[in-house]
Structure 1
Amino acid sequence: MSSTNSILLTNQTLASNIDIDNVTHFLLELDALKRVNRRSYVTDTNRLENSAEHSWHLAMACWSIAELFELDVNHEKLLKLALVHDLGEIDAGDTFLYADTRADAHIEERAGIARLQAEHGNGIKDLNELWEEQETGSSKETQLLKVVDRLLPFLLNLNTNGKTWIDSNVTRSQVSAAHAFIKDSFPSIYDWLSQQIEFATQQGWLIDA
């Protein structure tokens, strides 16, 4: 065995009891998130963003903002929360922020997370707990995650001439209500969002109602 392999597999007994078929099956289960399309359009394209892309963007954005603003957060926890954030959509699909069924989306997503947790090839022992934290928690990491999760699709809308908003007849009051919580969590981002909502309304991208 090479020195590299010996470093990677120091516990040969444990490794010999792990079925690599189970491992690769779980990895393909995670890959399914790439097939879940969201409502946001990727900038400079005519295609929809998928949930795996959003999860990556969310993790990177949270990391960058936490560093830039020197926020007192646990970066490892923050990134883990961002990465598991949309995994329930593998089974449930993406639910549009302004859909009537939005309040019930967590039911199918929670069931999907439980299924992934039970996979024999899953090495993330606290997958359920991490997902519940990002879904219902109130930690500093969760608060930041929720702010950035709202910021990113808003940003994509601004940079695609409000395409998703126009497609779905979204109103100014809907967008304002969906982002109101950010005023207490991250005032500077909220102030910027408020200005951009005004701009989007003036452009006709949001219905002024």
Structure 2
Amino acid sequence: MKEKFKQMMEVIHLSEKLKYELRHSWLSNGRQESVAEHTWRLSLMAMLVGPHLEREVDTLKLLKMTIIHDLVEAEAGDIPAFDTQNDQQAKELKEQNEEQAILNIRELVSGEQGAEWYHLWHEFEAKETYEAKVANALDKLEAQIQHNEADIDTWLPIEYDMSYMLGRHTQFSPVLDQLKDVIEEEADKKIRQSTRSG
């Protein structure tokens, strides 16, 4: 078992990189957010929202997905969606780097557990199952919540528009659509206040 624990430690050490891999989001205290912080709150949101969804959700699977989905960024780095939105070459490079990272993670974790993580990551990316759709929607909603909490001076011009595009991620779920409305209202209020004061 000692050898197995040593292997687990390799995965745990890899995950430490997510504590210092920074996202494009900023915190309300003016510090840049780490990937690990985003993942933690996304998982908290899954626990809070899960019981209120209109369909039964596999909570354990949902939590595993939220925890695993950004683990590839320990190797591939965090690349904001808007950096690849209109750049097919950048999008393909990101996909290749993340695919290689999840292959490496599958080997590192190994066995049935490695295979499960690999499949859960791909399921999240495909956005076809109910759990994957919920996880993806919450991922986008958490990012907007963080933007709403940050100083608006940290927002990029594209992020003003993106504040009103969350519906494409939540439209499959009336419950998540309602949550999206609350988050968009917060964004709209922040934008209007900055316009008045600016």
**What's the TM-score bracket when you normalise by the shorter of the two chains?**
0.7 to 0.9
DSSP-derived class of the 1:95 partner: coil
Gaps of 5+ in 1: 1-14
Match of 1:109 in 2: 98
Give the secondary structure class of the aligned counterpart of 1:118: helix
Q: How many residues align structurally?
A: 187
Secondary structure of the 1:124 match is: helix
How much has 1:184 moved relative to structure 2? 3.5
Alignment deviations for residues 110-150 of structure 1 (CA, whole Å, 9 cap, x no partner): 21111111116787231110100111131111111111111
- In the other structure, the counterpart of 1:133 is 123
- Aligned partners of 2:91 and 2:166: how far apart in 1? 13
CA contact (8 A) 1:150 1:179 kept: no
Over the residues paired in the alignment, what is the CA RMSD in angstroms?
2.5
Q: Which residue of 1 aligns with 2:191?
A: 201
Aligned-partner residue type, residue 102 of structure 2: I
User: Structure 1 residue aligned with 2:107, among 96, 103, 118?
Assistant: 118
In structure 1, what is the Cα distance between the partners aligned to 2:108 and 2:149?
A: 39
The letter for the 2-side match of 1:132 is H
What is the deviation of 1:70? 6.5
Q: Which residue of 1 aligns with 2:146?
A: 156
Give the drift of 1:155.
1.1
Code of the aligned partner of 1:110: E
1:7 is matched with none
SS in 2 for 1:119: helix
Q: So what's the TM-score if we normalise by structure 1? A: 0.77
RCO higher in structure (CA 8 A, sep ≥6): 2
The structure in which a higher percent of residues are helix is: 2
Per the TM alignment, residue 58 of structure 1 is displaced from its structure 2 partner at its CA by 0.8
- C-alpha distance 121-158 of structure 1, shift in aligned 2 (>3 A): same
- Change over 3 Å in CA distance of 1:116–1:199 after alignment to 2: same
Alignment pair present for 1:176 and 2:164: yes
SS at match of 1:114: helix
**What TM-score, normalized to structure 2?**
0.81
The equivalent of 1:78 in structure 2 is: 62
